[in-house]
Amino acid sequence: MKIDGRRYRSLWPLADASAVEAIDQTALPHQFVTRRIADLEGAIEAIRTMRVRGAPLIGATAAYGLALALRRSADDSALQAAYRALLASRPTAVNLRHALDDVRSAVAALPVAQRAAAAWARAGAICEEDVALNQRIGDAGLPLIAALHRRLGRRVNILTHCNAGWLATIDWGTATAPIYKAHDSGVPLRVLVDETRPRNQGAALTAFELGQHGVPYAVIVDNAGGHLMQRGEVDLVIVGADRITARGDAANKIGTYLKALAARANGVPFYVAAPYTTFDWTIQDGLTEIEIEERSGEEVTHIAGRLDDGRVARVALTPDGAAALNPAFDVTPAELIDGFITDRGIVAANAKALAEAFGRAPISA
Amino acid sequence: MKIDGRRYRSLWPLADASAVEAIDQTALPHQFVTRRIADLEGAIEAIRTMRVRGAPLIGATAAYGLALALRRSADDSALQAAYRALLASRPTAVNLRHALDDVRSAVAALPVAQRAAAAWARAGAICEEDVALNQRIGDAGLPLIAALHRRLGRRVNILTHCNAGWLATIDWGTATAPIYKAHDSGVPLRVLVDETRPRNQGAALTAFELGQHGVPYAVIVDNAGGHLMQRGEVDLVIVGADRITARGDAANKIGTYLKALAARANGVPFYVAAPYTTFDWTIQDGLTEIEIEERSGEEVTHIAGRLDDGRVARVALTPDGAAALNPAFDVTPAELIDGFITDRGIVAANAKALAEAFGRAPISA
């Protein structure tokens, strides 16, 4: 999508293939900075500090990180060590494991000398596949929004949480792909953007990318969505996911579950947009089987923003020495999800429908 | 309650009765500053800019504001003009109207020359009554917490939203009165403090007052409560209210409704603590009959905090020119409320129980 009228992806390989370049998302929306990732350590640092974030982009970055690691040493033990180090960089997103498995299996049978180049090519293919998947998600979700517009006869108000936008992927986004497709095809809409504390990916990233693309939006605090749904001011919720179980429980950014409860209580359709790579067919019960990352309490007690003079500064929000808890994700049970918007179309949130759509035999719980 | 070991109230008359002094809550938790309110305009400014906030404290401040206005002119038209100006300073809290009605009816039959002094005395009595009401709320709620402790055999985790603490009242607080009473009587507990965007009254004020009193707490983002309830890490929710209808719908700080939904979905008891002055017997349906204040979008797009050098600064969180919506309150329907903790004891959230507890004939809807 576009920034200042110029087309960008969130991550791209340099022309000489010496490294990849990524938009540093910790600097947005106040500064547009890109960072070079030239080795394994750089990839891990970028993932862990959330310079790159969003399940699909984490996967793509990890794939390139593995490819870069293999340039230093590509024997089996080096491959395994790099795989493990990258896998540990963020625990919740399943795309990370998918991408690492993908690259590893593409190179494991090759002679050591060919592995680094093959991994690099495979990482590039993962990026291209991500773009294609998101386009298909957009095509699957567009009719939902267009139908709402026809039924309501007015602008469609779509609430989203966190950033499942193009910055969370390579391009298009997951939750935003149907929104961009609908906007581009002339369906009048407005996005209600949850600011998404503690890291404010909504206020910082989703607002930024929608604004750059010209999509109408309003930022709201995470507390406001329930009230707006009660008043009929939300027509549809679309969020992304970091991991979805075989029966359809979805882990996503902390706070998603509260919006799903409010949507159900107020008859607002609640959809989760995700490619097949976000599904983890090995687990059923999201509440007991998905590890939820606990991040530093400083993300709660402090926040960064832009001072009046343009400098970016971090300020404390709490009394000195305040204790804080910071779970990063929550799990929305399948029964609160009206459907998944996927690269295979819209799929109901149950084990049977998901298994059929993705060509798998359902695993009994 | 105490700040730095010294007893404070949130608002107190000067010894010479020339003005009242109030803790400036917009400066907390970073600076402890008090402000003198010496006239009607000062009272309105303090309420509107939220230097004083919380339904009971707004009422008390307005009562003193009316008394101060009558010193300038106490004839019927001046009384009426001051009443109206104060009533318009915040639209949602009903305590404001209660307090103004109280002072007005205490002085309306008096000769003009006696009105200012009588109003001043009545404002003082409203403050003393508030303290007594909150103590009774504390006594009513303490057994709830003590019983949970006995049943669970461990520390009780109590989630609260916004600041319904002593800073929102004259002393003790509403939601916090049972917590202070339980803590002071040795019941082990921890308060999970919703930060309460956009104005962060939880992170700034509730954390401050609990910390000063020595009550264990942890600040969480507003997004986290649902997840913690799913995991069994919340045993009880107690919040305050700005207005409660005759059938028990409760308007409180934006986001309260989402916590009520999550509490119900996870079997966590959800209580609203409030004195009789918060009930508005003239209305039934909170969703259609309570005006919800819309505040400036700048409260969403910007936030103030403490820089590393100790100065307080405001930072922007969103892209330049970002649009924002900022409804300040929401309404939690009576059916999601397990009970009201009031100065008349614990009362079920329905018209009949409330009318019985408060000695009123129920009004049919």
The string of pLDDT tens digits covering residues A69-115 is: 999 999 999 999 999 999 999 988 788 999 999 999 999 999 999 99
Q: Which of B227, B301, B305 sits opposite A317 (nearest CB)?
A: B305
Is the Cβ of B113 closer than 8 Å to some Cβ of chain A? no
Strands (E), chain B: 2-3, 6-7, 11-13, 20-23, 34-37, 156-160, 189-194, 217-220, 236-239, 243-245, 250-253, 270-273, 279-280, 302-306, 312-316, 329-332, 339-342, 345-347
Same domain assignment for residues A165 and A267: yes
* 8 Å CB contact between A247 and A333: no
* The token pair that represents A124 in the structure block: 């590039």
- Among the candidates A76, A95, A129, a domain finishes at A129
The answer to whether position A32 is within a domain reads yes
State the complex-level ipTM.
0.94
Predicted local distance difference test score (pLDDT) of residue A363? 55
Distance (Å) from the C-alpha of residue A119 to the closest C-alpha of chain B? 37
Same domain assignment for residues B166 and B304: yes
The answer to whether position B321 is within a domain reads yes
Is the Cβ of B309 closer than 8 Å to some Cβ of chain A? no
Predicted local distance difference test score (pLDDT) of residue B152? 98
The residue type of B318 is T
Same domain assignment for residues A108 and A156: no
Q: Which pTM does this prediction carry?
A: 0.94
Q: Which of B261, B297, B314 sits opposite A262 (nearest CB)?
A: B261
Distance (Å) from the C-alpha of residue B326 to the closest C-alpha of chain A? 7
Q: What is the pLDDT of residues A136-157, one digit of tens each?
A: 999 999 999 999 999 999 999 9
CB contact under 8 A, A307 and B313: yes
Q: Are strands A236-239 and A156-160 parallel, antiparallel or unpaired?
A: parallel
Same domain assignment for residues A109 and A12: yes
Same domain assignment for residues B118 and B172: no
Same domain assignment for residues B114 and B143: no
Same domain assignment for residues A229 and A353: yes
The answer to whether position B364 is within a domain reads no
- Residue B93 confidence (pLDDT) above 90: no
- Residue A362 confidence (pLDDT) above 70: no
Same domain assignment for residues B196 and B264: yes
The answer to whether position A362 is within a domain reads no
The answer to whether position B298 is within a domain reads yes
As for how many domains chain B has, the answer is: 2
User: What CATH number is attached to the domain comprising B71?
Assistant: 1.20.120.420
Q: What is the pLDDT of residues B186-233, one digit of tens each?
A: 999 999 999 999 999 999 999 999 999 999 999 999 999 999 999 999
Q: Active-site residue among B194, B242, B249, B330? A: B242
Please give the residue range of the domain that contains residue B214.
139-357
Query: b vs e for A290-306, b when ≥16 Cβ sit within 10 Å of the residue's Cβ?
Result: bebbebebebbbbbbbb
Q: What CA–CA distance (Å, rounded) separates A240 from A237?
A: 10
**Confidence band of A365 (pLDDT split at 50, 70, 90):** very low
Q: What CA–CA distance (Å, rounded) separates B33 from B220?
A: 26
> In the 3-class helix/strand/coil scheme, how is A21-81 assigned residue by residue?
EEECCCCCCCCCCEEEECCHHHHHHHHHCCCCCCHHHHHHHHHHHHHHHHHHCCCHHHHHH
Predicted local distance difference test score (pLDDT) of residue B329? 97
Same domain assignment for residues B60 and B118: yes
Same domain assignment for residues A217 and A298: yes
Same domain assignment for residues B236 and B89: no
Query: b vs e for B141-171, b when ≥16 Cβ sit within 10 Å of the residue's Cβ?
Result: bbebbbebbeeeeeebbbbbbbbbbbbbbbb
Q: How far apart are the first and last CA of chain A?
A: 41
- Residue B324 confidence (pLDDT) above 80: yes
Distance (Å) from the C-alpha of residue B327 to the closest C-alpha of chain A? 7
Same domain assignment for residues B92 and B215: no
Predicted local distance difference test score (pLDDT) of residue B99? 96
Q: How many residues does chain A have?
A: 365
User: What CATH number is attached to the domain comprising B144?
Assistant: 3.40.50.10470
The answer to whether position A365 is within a domain reads no
The answer to whether position B134 is within a domain reads no
Q: What CA–CA distance (Å, rounded) separates B84 from B95?
A: 14
The whole-number average pLDDT for the span B243-266 is 98
Bridge partner list, B294: B327
CB contact under 8 A, B300 and A219: yes
Q: What is the pLDDT of residues A147-202, one digit of tens each?
A: 999 999 999 999 999 999 999 999 999 999 999 999 999 999 999 999 999 999 99
The answer to whether position A134 is within a domain reads no
Q: Which of B223, B253, B327 sits opposite A254 (nearest CB)?
A: B223
Predicted local distance difference test score (pLDDT) of residue B365? 43
Predicted local distance difference test score (pLDDT) of residue B362? 59
- Among the candidates A88, A105, A129, a domain finishes at A129
